[in-house]
């Protein structure tokens, strides 16, 4: 056997991460490190561990798009199908200038754990397009959305892979994508995409579902740690769909006072609380939360370290790291973003007694209502919003309690516990299917 064959047959776990030259904050390094830690605790068999360290499939695409100024620009994008042992791949599509294949791989892995921890009959996938949607016209965005579906459409299908919105993608973008896919198939197949507008087969309760699921988790976390949330302070980092609704529902459902919020351009602070109706109106009018009347300016970094009871990181990956984790003062960190905390920071938070509700549990409300949307599309029968809220609450609470109980059983932090719950379910499916 020559050297090359030998090394390709060597599946010792440490050959993959540490020698691959990933940078510290590379999300895929982080996703794998988390998996490795959980695998060690649960004594996961080698073949199962190895298959879970890789996406099963991924497609890299180039998309020519006609721009408004008459030129043609070539955009690049990806779709990663991480693991579909439990059902069709499921996960959003991000439009972001800093998108990379490793980010999409990590996010697809987290979708696999997310659907498993919620016990949804789905796998995990993710898509991404490298672009700056803020500098594109609506026409350009539509042409890019359609071009993306023309390229990745061959991988999609109700039983194969079902995308949804994510960072900087909207229900309108989902509508264009569902339309393009329907024309490719020659019949309406709205169920292939979730997060659609209601008029096109979207589900009631999908818009605020990500934040609502997280708010139910915060309610449950407060109960298990014996904390009364009414009148307590919260801060929200990120003011997109998840961040805005976290602000609204922390006030409306939990009776909290949200004292600081931020977006990519900066943040605002008012110790007496911020009114969500006024803040969103200001953001819509000016493009940012900055300079909101009656507030003082605060940076995103300062917001994370504020003396609040609940912190909602609701923007992007790797914002709580070994550099700032020791300065986090919140008692509960509710991760509405995907991947906001690095593994090094996780240990610091755990040792400091911070109760972290990990991303793929905390933000799973979105995909859970997406699953309800798929069921409704297939059924051709649509539920009332109240019914969706009830079903979502039941699913989130069951997942929360299972993770909390597992953390107690092994004396580990909640993220590792959530991994153990999810891995057990994915491995059971892979074994039943005869993959390992
Ligand atoms: N993009 C959301 C997430 O990261 C929702 C995914 C979905 O609905 O499929 O969970």
128 CB near ligand 1 (under 6 Å) = no
CATH of the domain at 114: 3.40.50.10860
Q: At residue 15, does pLDDT exceed 60?
A: no
Structure tokens at 221: 């976390």
Q: Is residue 117 in contact with ligand 1, taking CB distance under 6 Å?
A: no
Region class of 351: left (phi > 0), else alpha (psi between -120 and 50), else beta: alpha
Same domain, residue pair 82 and 170: yes
Does the Cβ of 335 fall within 6 Å of ligand 1?
A: no
Whether pLDDT at 236 is above 80: yes
Q: What single-letter DSSP state applies at residue 272?
A: T
Tell me the mean pLDDT in the region 274-282.
Answer: 98
- Residue 323 lies in domain: 209-362
Give the DSSP per-residue string, 65-102: EE-TTS-EEEEEEEEEEEE-TTSSEEEEEEEETT--HH
- pLDDT, residue 16, reads 43
| Nearest protein Cα to ligand 1, atom 7 | 367
Q: Do the Cβ atoms of 244 and 276 come closer than 8 Å?
A: yes
Which residue's alpha carbon is nearest to atom 9 within ligand 1?
Answer: 91
| Distance (Å, whole) CA 414 – CA 360 | 11
**How far is it, in rounded angstroms, from Cα 226 to Cα 232?**
13
Measure 291 CA to ligand 1 centroid, in angstroms. 31
Same domain, 221 and 332: yes
Statement: residue 349 has pLDDT above 70? yes
Any domain includes 199: no
Predicted local confidence at residue 25, as pLDDT: 80
pLDDT higher than 70, residue 72: yes
3-state secondary structure of 385: helix
Which residues, listed in sequence order, are joined to residue 257 by a DSSP beta bridge?
Answer: 233
Kindly calculate the radius of gyration of the chain based on its CA atoms and give it in whole angstroms: 21
Do residues 252 and 161 share a domain?
no
For residue 93, what are the β-bridge partners?
127, 165
What's this model's pTM, rounded to 2 decimal places?
A: 0.94
Q: Are residues 99 and 62 in the same domain?
A: yes
- The residues annotated with a catalytic role in the active site are 126
Whats the size of the chain, residue-wise?
436
At which of 339, 362, 385 does a domain end? 362
Local confidence band at 314 (pLDDT 50, 70, 90 cut-offs): very high
Count of H-run helices and E-run strands, the chain: 15, 12
Same domain, 177 and 278: no
pLDDT at 20: 53
Question: Quick one: DSSP state of residue 287?
Answer: S
116-120 average pLDDT score: 98
Q: Please work out whether the CB of residue 367 comes within 6 Å of at least one atom of ligand 1.
A: yes
* For ligand 1, mutation pick of 363, 373, 377 (most atoms within 8 Å of CB): 363
Q: Which atom of ligand 1 is nearest to the CA of 369?
A: 8
Q: Is 406 in the pocket of ligand 1 (CB under 6 A)?
A: no
Same domain, residue pair 242 and 155: no
* Ligand 1 centroid, distance to 115 Cα (angstroms): 10
Same domain as 181, residue 73: yes
- For residue 377, name the pLDDT band (cuts at 50, 70, 90): very high
Residue nearest to atom 8 of ligand 1 (CA): 367
Does 24 fall in a domain?
no
Percent of the chain with pLDDT over 70: 95
Beta pairing, strands 57-66 & 72-83? antiparallel
Q: Is 339 part of any domain?
A: yes
338 ligand 1 Cβ < 6 A: yes
Asked whether 370 lines ligand 1 (CB < 6 A), one says yes
Alpha-carbon distance 141 to 67, whole Å?
A: 9
Residue 316 maps to a domain: yes
Kindly report, residue by residue over 191-228, the tens digit of the pLDDT.
999 999 999 999 999 999 999 999 999 999 999 999 99
| CA-closest candidate to residue 248, choices 207, 194, 294, 302 | 207
pLDDT at 1: 32
Q: Which atom of ligand 1 is nearest to the CA of 163?
A: 9
Q: Are residues 173 and 220 in the same domain?
A: no
Residue with tokens 């790291």: 321
pLDDT number for residue 23: 75
* Ligand 1 atom closest to residue 94's alpha carbon, by position in its atom list: 1
Q: Is residue 49 part of a domain?
A: no
Report d(CA 393, CA 351) in Å as an integer.
30
Mean pLDDT of 399-405: 98
DSSP conformation letters of 320-372: B-TTTGGG---SEEE--SSS-B-HHHHHHHHHTT-EEE-HHHHTTHHHHHHHH
Q: Tell me, what's the pLDDT at 244?
A: 98
Place of tokens 């911070």: 354
Whether residue 179 sits in one domain with residue 109: yes
**86 and 183, same structural domain?**
yes
State which ligand 1 atom lies nearest to the alpha carbon of 114.
10
Q: Is the pLDDT of residue 160 over 60?
A: yes
Q: How many domains does the chain have?
A: 2
Distance 18 CA to ligand 1 centre (A): 29
| 167 lies in the same domain as 250 | no
164 pocket-lining for ligand 1 (C-beta < 6 Å): yes
Q: pLDDT tens digits, residue range 238-268?
A: 999 999 999 999 999 999 999 999 999 999 9
- For residue 134, give the DSSP letter: G
Question: What average pLDDT does this structure show over 154-178?
Answer: 97
317 lines ligand 1 (CB under 6 A): no
Q: How far is the CA of 122 from the centre of ligand 1 (A)?
A: 12
To the nearest whole number, what is the mean pLDDT of the chain? 94
Q: Is residue 11 part of a domain?
A: no
Does the residue 253 lie in any domain?
yes
Q: What is the pLDDT of residue 3?
A: 35
Spatial CA neighbour of 276 closest among 298, 294, 249: 249
Q: Per residue in 89-100, pLDDT tens?
A: 999 999 999 999
Structure letter (DSSP) for residue 157: B
Show the 3-state SS of 250-261: HHHCCCCEEEEE
CATH at residue 217: 3.40.50.720
Both tokens of 316, joined, read: 């992007």
Which of the four pLDDT bands, split at 50, 70 and 90, describes residue 384? very high
Question: What is the C-alpha to C-alpha distance for residues 13 and 200, in angstroms, rounded to an integer?
Answer: 46
Evaluated on CA atoms 280, 284, 288, 291, the torsion sign reads: negative
* Mean pLDDT of the region 387-393: 98
Which ligand 1 atom sits closest to the C-alpha of 107? 4
Q: Give yes or no for a contact between 101 and 156, defined as CB atoms under 8 angstroms apart.
A: no
């Amino acid at each position: 056997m020559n050297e090359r064959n030998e090394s390709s047959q060597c599946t010792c776990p440490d050959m993959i991460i540490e020698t691959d030259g990933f940078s510290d904050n590379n999300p895929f390094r982080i996703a794998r490190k988390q998996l490795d830690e959980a695998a060690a605790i649960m004594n996961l068999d080698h073949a199962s561990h190895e298959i879970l360290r890789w996406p099963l499939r991924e497609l890299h695409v180039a998309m020519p798009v006609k721009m408004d100024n008459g030129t043609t620009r070539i955009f690049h994008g990806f779709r990663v199908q991480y693991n579909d042992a439990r059902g069709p791949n499921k996960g959003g599509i991000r439009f972001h200038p800093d998108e990379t294949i490793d980010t999409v791989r990590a996010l697809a892995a987290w979708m696999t754990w997310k659907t498993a921890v919620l016990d949804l009959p789905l796998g995990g996938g993710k898509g991404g397009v490298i672009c700056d949607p803020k500098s594109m016209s609506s026409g350009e965005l539509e042409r890019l959305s359609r071009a993306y579906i023309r390229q990745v459409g061959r991988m999609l299908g109700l039983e194969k892979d079902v995308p949804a919105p994510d960072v900087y993608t909207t229900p309108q973008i989902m509508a264009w994508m569902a339309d393009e896919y329907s024309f490719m198939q020659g019949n309406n197949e709205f169920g292939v995409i979730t997060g659609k507008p209601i008029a096109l087969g979207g589900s009631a309760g999908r818009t605020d579902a990500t934040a609502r699921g997280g708010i139910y988790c915060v309610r449950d976390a407060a109960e298990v740690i014996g904390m009364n949330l009414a009148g307590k302070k919260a801060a929200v980092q990120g003011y997109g769909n998840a961040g805005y609704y976290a602000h609204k529902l922390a006030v409306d459902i939990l009776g909290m006072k949200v004292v600081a919020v931020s977006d990519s351009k900066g943040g605002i602070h008012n110790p007496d609380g911020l009114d969500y109706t006024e803040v969103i109106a200001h953001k819509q009018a000016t493009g940012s939360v900055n300079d909101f009347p009656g507030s003082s300016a605060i940076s995103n970094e300062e917001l994370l370290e504020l003396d609040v009871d609940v912190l909602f990181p609701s923007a992007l990956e790797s914002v709580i790291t070994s550099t700032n984790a020791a300065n986090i003062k919140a008692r509960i960190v509710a991760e509405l973003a995907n991947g906001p905390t690095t593994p090094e920071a996780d240990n610091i938070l755990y040792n400091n007694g911070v109760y972290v509700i990990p991303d793929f549990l905390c933000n799973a409300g979105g995909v859970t209502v997406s699953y309800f949307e798929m069921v409704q599309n297939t059924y051709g029968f649509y539920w009332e919003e109240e019914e969706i809220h009830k079903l979502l609450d039941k699913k989130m609470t069951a997942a929360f309690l299972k993770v909390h109980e597992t953390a107690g059983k092994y004396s580990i932090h909640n993220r590792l516990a959530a991994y153990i719950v999810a891995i057990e379910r994915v491995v059971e499916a892979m074994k039943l299917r005869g993959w390992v």
